[in-house]
Chains A and B, each alone.
Chain A
Amino acid sequence: MRRFLISVLGICVLLGVGAGLFADSPTVLPKFEITADVMRLDLKKTPRSLVYERNVVYTSPLYQTRITCNRLETNATSPKTISAVTATGNVIFSMTGEDDQGKPTYKVNGTSPLLTYAIQNGDPVIRLVKQNDVQPSLIITDLASKEQTDLTGSGEVMEYNLKTQTLEVKKVKMASEGSGK
């Protein structure tokens, strides 16, 4: 009797594991979504190329990222991932940083003529670049204190690491280079 119960239990466990392995997974939250009026796709290029134009909106649950622009190009390091996006033309972006418990702690807003959003060494990094005398704008708001740090016009190239909250400014007006937090 005991053997019979053990064997039935074993079969149930095996069936459960099998069902878990082979059943369709529930609809997962998309890692990102891009909408636009026009898109060109080229899978022959290495890495593959996706170019979006007109009314482009990139959204991702990671850091609640939202980028709107006129043109967005994706870069991929492997066939199934998009490791970076390059946005140009009236770029407006917003992101929300979180603490270790996933609680939103600060918000990043800004505009830039050229923006690159990439994963560098596992960290999400936004890079803002000046173009045609148009300076990038970056405003960081602490959600607890509502204190704002306006970094507009700090430099021609600004790199902000959302994980470490580190800002690196290059080609500063005073011909120096620095970084800060």
Chain B
Amino acid sequence: MPISRRALAAAVAALLLPLSACGSGDDGGAGSTDASGKVEGDITFQTWNLRANFKSYFEGLIADFEHKYPGAHVKWVDQPAEGYPDKLSADAGGGTLPDVVNVSPDLVAPLAKAGLAMDLDKAAAKYKSEYLDGAWAGHQVPGLSGTYAFPWYLNTGPLFYNKSLFEKAGLDADRPPKTYDDLFADALQLAKKSGGKVATLANVPTIEDFGRYGVPLMNKQGTAFAFNNTKGIELLTKYKELYDAKALDPQALTATPESSGKKFLTGAVAMNPGSALDLGNFKKNAPGLYKNIGITDQITSTGHVNMYVMGLMVNSRTKHTPAAVAFAHFVTDAQNQMSFAKKVAIFPSTAGSLDDPYFTKQDGTDETRVRVAAAKSLKTAVNYTPVLFSDQMKTALRNEVAKALQGKQSPKAALDNAVKAADRLLQQG
């Protein structure tokens, strides 16, 4: 296929021509932060992988809202778990972000920086007192003033362990590890007694593990990462020891939350973090395991367990600020969070809700025991993952940690590299 120079020039011209139409996106007219007007208009509400299990709950919720505010109409869309950040970034870049969006703190940070999330300290300050202080602060972004999402549901859970595996290794199945030292000692014994067949941990340490171990993750100003200190190195060195003894699953380097859950189900791993929701799963898919299930508290060095926080962000460019703010508040108010919590093993972020008898009174079942313990621990729980810790940073940390476990570099070098990479990404962001 001979290509003449003129043809080439024509091709280049054809390529460049559309560039003139290259606009850098839109503004679409920023919505106001004044939420005091009449609640009316059509708004869109986007959730994250909740349709498959909770369709009727959300349909009922929306019907209630529309009944309360006849001028408002809510359209509900749900997105699958995978690709959610890509979906959000396409919508954010294209100016098609829904009015009310289900986010987590690490998702809200870049949106807030781009000016797409409404500052609720301005638009909805009057609702602040309805929520737990820690939960409200969960969607604040270092470097910006303001709060960028209503707190929605919280989650935390105990550590499940396989009693029969503990007994086989000569451990007291009724005395699960309570401290990191216990955990590491038990793990080594389990691996030794089973000839390397039974691991205790299935995942490499993530940023929240460092947090829970008591490693300061960032400097005081929140401008740089600091988890490469002696405490961090100590934890990683310990994990390396476990990995070498096969007490940390040899496949941990490629594990996903699903694969490690599966390993716990099949008895290849002795402990697994989870939530009350998992109990039903054990009962159904691994009845043998369910009979031997042990439940214990998350292990921390700080006394504060880790929690996950979900929020509802209001699009700062919404055309119907009063309706969007009112709806986001409606979904996250004490009553609706409570009824959602009763449908699924999550916890409300509204003040006082955790004192409800549902979260305080035992009724003898394991589910309730797990729920009550989790609710109690939530009062002091911390979301260890820094809001600014992006996906790219998580990958960098994961890869450096893996290299340390494989012995390709020292734990110190690994954490130094991870901090360096994360800091660079932080400055660019």
A and B are partners in one complex rather than unrelated chains: no
Interfacial residues, chain B to chain A (CB-CB below 8 A): none
Interfacial residues, chain A to chain B (CB-CB below 8 A): none
